[in-house]
Amino acid sequence: MFKNLRELFSLKKTIEQKKLEIMEKDNYINKVNSQISEIDKLLNDKENLKNSILTEAMEFASKKSHEVIQNISTDIHEIVKQKALKQNELLETETQFEKTTKSLNTSLKKLSKSKTLYSTFNNAIDRFFNAELGDSYKIPKLKLDEAEQLSPTVTLKLHSMDVRELKKKFKENDKLIEEILKKYEARYNTKANITIYRLMVIALRAELQNILSNLKYENLEDSLNSITTMIEKYFIIIGDGNKSIAGTLAKFIGEIELLFKNAVKIEYEYYLKKEKARQEQLAIREQMRQEAEERKRLADQQKQVEKEEEKYNNEIAKLQALMNTTEDISKTNELNAKILELQNYIKELETKKDEIVKLQNGKAGNVYIISNLGSFGDDIFKVGMTRRIDPQERINELSSASVPFSFDVHSFIFSDDAVGLESKLHDILKENRLNRVNMRKEFFKINIDELEKLVADIDPTADFNKTMLAEDFRQSMSVDSILESSEDSYNDLKVNA
């Protein structure tokens, strides 16, 4: 019984302890819950604060972005406004520039006309004061109705009338002539003097037409001299004629002389253009002829290469057959080495054949720059083009054709478009060209340093040799010097003897 009581008492005590523990746990839980509540409250406060900050930030950002957009819009509007103003200013400037340009062109035309008139007046004054007028008084016994007999029966068509630019220049010059003719005709009051003047004008016109009709590319100087001779002839006639009008006629002749020469020069420009076009056609035909020759030469070279290639292939086939039948390792190695050597030759031939095909099918070639000191002197260079595999062959041909000494090569410039490169160089050097009419004459006067710089600008990899060897020329000069020295020594010996 006591045992049961002790157990009961112990159990009760345990229960009390457990209750205390439970109460402690409950207190702890309540405490934790209280802390959690405080944390939740704190979190809610933080969330509210965050939302408040975000709201304020978004409102501020919205306000600022609106202000920025407003400012940008204002700036854009201002820029557009400024652009419109600048465009208007530019338009006004362009308009003013066009007006100024037109005014300048008009002024230049007036200046050109004034220069021509000044030259005619100057010439007239010189002619007037230098003319030897006679004292005799003679009036030709010609009637006015006979004047028509002295005018040209046929008006020849001028070639300059077929070229718009020359036609305009000729008519402008002719207008100046007409103005002078009318100006001087108004100075005569008597019928006889007017008759003399008109007859002279008809004769002058007829002689000018005759000179223009005989004008050719080769005789510009002769035609200009004919004008001078004609004018001098009229001065002689004036000197032997009517003294009362001789002075006026002398001034008239002096003014008309330069305008007549201008007419000859303008008509001559047609022949100059025609000759230039003829030379260009000849140059094209010459180029076509050279290209045909080079194509034939390349075709022959290709056949030769193919024959060589076939010969090597046949030899390789024989050597391979020997290799298949021999068991000697040393012999096999020798045959194999020989085959490899022949195969290398074939590769070289294939490379050469590819070059030939490339030259045949395209514009590839070499632009050459050469000189000939003995034939042409310092600073004279020929710039040409060849499509040969070995460009030196072309130089050798040129050296053996109509020149006493060989050409020196200063540069070979390879190009896939040698024709275009040659044309480019000719265009750059057009102001240095010696012959401005015959384009086949590819000679230019230029300092060798300038030429070297030009080559370096076009192709920095191209070699350029500045030395003019001129071996044949220098040796010839040495021989001449030795001969002269020997002749002088011989003459000295004769004198002393």
* Model confidence at 145: pLDDT above 50: no
* 288 inside domain: no
* 271 inside domain: yes
Kindly state the average pLDDT of the residues 226-234.
Answer: 88
* 257 inside domain: yes
Range of the domain at 230: 121-282
Cβ–Cβ under 8 Å, residues 246 and 132: no
Same domain, residue pair 247 and 321? no
Q: Please give the full DSSP string across 91-108, using - where no structure is assigned.
A: HHHHHHHHHHHHHHHHHH
**Percent of the chain whose pLDDT exceeds 90:** 13
> Tens digit of pLDDT for each residue in 438-478?
777 899 999 999 999 999 998 888 889 888 877 777 777 76
Give the burial class of 238: count Cβ atoms within 10 A of its Cβ; 0-12 exposed, 13-18 middle, 19 or more buried: buried
**pLDDT in the model for residue 429:** 93
Report helix, strand or coil for 444: strand
Cβ–Cβ under 8 Å, residues 286 and 441: no
Same domain, residue pair 84 and 205? no
**pLDDT in the model for residue 424:** 92
Kindly state the average pLDDT of the residues 70-87.
Answer: 74
Same domain, residue pair 109 and 153? no
> Tens digit of pLDDT for each residue in 393-423?
888 888 876 788 889 999 999 888 888 899 8
Number of domains in the chain: 4
Same domain, residue pair 48 and 181? no
Q: Please give the full DSSP string across 254-301, using - where no structure is assigned.
A: HHHHHHHHHHHHHHHHHHHHHHHHHHHHHHHHHHHHHHHHHHHHHHHH
Inter-axis angle of helices 243-325 and 164-185, nearest 10: 170
Same domain, residue pair 344 and 396? no
* 393 inside domain: yes
DSSP tag of 187: T
Q: Within 10 A of 107 (CB to CB), how many other CB atoms are there?
A: 11
CA dihedral 68, 70, 74, 79 (to 10 degrees): 50
Specify the amino acid at residue 25.
K
What residues contact residue 242 under an 8 Å CB cut-off, 6+ apart? Answer: 137, 138, 139, 193, 196
Highest-confidence segment of 196-200, 352-356, 378-382, 476-480: 378-382
Looking at per-residue pLDDT, the higher value among 219 and 39 belongs to 219
- Mean pLDDT of the residues in the chain: 78
Report helix, strand or coil for 400: coil
* 258 inside domain: yes
Starting at the edge strand found earlier in the chain, the sheet holding 380-386 runs 408-415, 365-371, 380-386, 443-445
CA dihedral 71, 74, 76, 77 (to 10 degrees): 170
**pLDDT in the model for residue 136:** 38
Distance CA 98, CA 382 (A): 44
Q: Helix, strand, coil proportions of the chain in percent (round to 5)?
A: 75, 5, 15
Same domain, residue pair 32 and 153? no
Same domain, residue pair 107 and 199? no
Cβ–Cβ under 8 Å, residues 149 and 198: no
What phi and psi values does residue 368 have, to the nearest 5 degrees? -115, 150
* 146 inside domain: yes
Q: Which of 89, 116, 143 is the last residue of a domain?
A: 116
Q: What end-to-end distance do the CA atoms of the chain give, in Å? A: 188
DSSP tag of 445: E
Segment holding 416, helix H or strand E: none
- pLDDT confidence of 193, banded at 50, 70, 90? confident
- pLDDT confidence of 105, banded at 50, 70, 90? low
Segment holding 30, helix H or strand E: helix 2-130
Same domain, residue pair 89 and 158? no
> Which pTM does this prediction carry?
0.47
Q: Which of 217, 252, 282 is the last residue of a domain?
A: 282
Tokens of 404: 């006493």
**pLDDT in the model for residue 359:** 66
Kindly state the average pLDDT of the residues 214-232.
Answer: 90
Show the DSSP H helices in 131-163 as ranges: none
Kindly state the average pLDDT of the residues 348-360.
Answer: 76
Report helix, strand or coil for 310: helix
Q: Which of 99, 116, 133 is the last residue of a domain?
A: 116
**Percent of the chain whose pLDDT exceeds 70:** 79
* 494 inside domain: no
Distance CA 421, CA 365 (A): 10
Same domain, residue pair 246 and 317? no
**pLDDT in the model for residue 189:** 80
Within 13 Å and on the Cβ side, how many CA atoms surround 280?
9
**pLDDT in the model for residue 410:** 93
Same domain, residue pair 393 and 474? yes
Tokens of 31: 């405490």
Looking at per-residue pLDDT, the higher value among 66 and 150 belongs to 66
Cβ–Cβ under 8 Å, residues 368 and 412: yes
Looking at per-residue pLDDT, the higher value among 88 and 461 belongs to 461
Give the burial class of 487: count Cβ atoms within 10 A of its Cβ; 0-12 exposed, 13-18 middle, 19 or more buried: exposed
Segment holding 450, helix H or strand E: helix 448-458
Cα separation values, 58 from 62, 65, 128, 198, Å: 6, 10, 101, 102
Distance CA 406, CA 400 (A): 7
Bridge pairing between strands 408-415 and 443-445: unpaired
What phi and psi values does residue 98 have, to the nearest 5 degrees? -60, -45
Same domain, residue pair 141 and 263? yes
Same domain, residue pair 314 and 456? no
Distance CA 317, CA 308 (A): 14
**pLDDT in the model for residue 144:** 39
DSSP tag of 370: E
* 293 inside domain: no
